[in-house]
């Protein structure tokens, strides 16, 4: 379905961001929150069997977002430490 394809592309994007942040890149994640909200709304409007079929992918998305959030916090903490040592 279109929703399943969109969900997969968001998961792939988040995982790509994880890899890039892990390499030290600074990512502009503007719009990601709206994409996640949109896909959640799209899934919740599906008939129940279709929505349930996407449950494991939604879990993957949640896990990936949580991991990305932790990585971004670690990156920010490193920047804060570096900025503090320059003062």
- Quick: pLDDT tens for 26-70: 888 999 999 999 999 999 999 999 999 999 999 999 999 999 999
**How high is the pLDDT of residue 86?**
67
**How high is the pLDDT of residue 83?**
83
Residues 6+ apart with CB under 8 A from 18: 64, 67, 68, 71
Six token digits for residue 73: 């916090």
Angle between helices 55-86 and 2-22 (to 10 degrees): 30
pTM attached to this predicted model: 0.87
**How high is the pLDDT of residue 84?**
82
The b-or-e profile of 14-47 (16+ CB within 10 A means b, else e) is: beebbeebeeeeeeeeeebeebbeebeebbeeee
**How high is the pLDDT of residue 28?**
87
pLDDT above 60: residue 87 = no
């Amino acid at each position: 379905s279109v929703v399943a394809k969109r969900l997969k592309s968001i998961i792939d994007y988040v995982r790509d961001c994880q890899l890039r942040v892990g390499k030290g890149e600074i990512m502009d994640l503007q719009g990601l929150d709206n994409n996640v909200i949109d896909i959640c709304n799209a899934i919740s409007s599906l008939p129940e069997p279709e929505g349930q079929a996407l449950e494991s992918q939604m879990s993957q998305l949640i896990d990936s977002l949580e991991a990305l959030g932790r990585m971004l916090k670690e990156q920010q903490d490193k920047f804060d430490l570096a900025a503090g040592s320059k003062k």
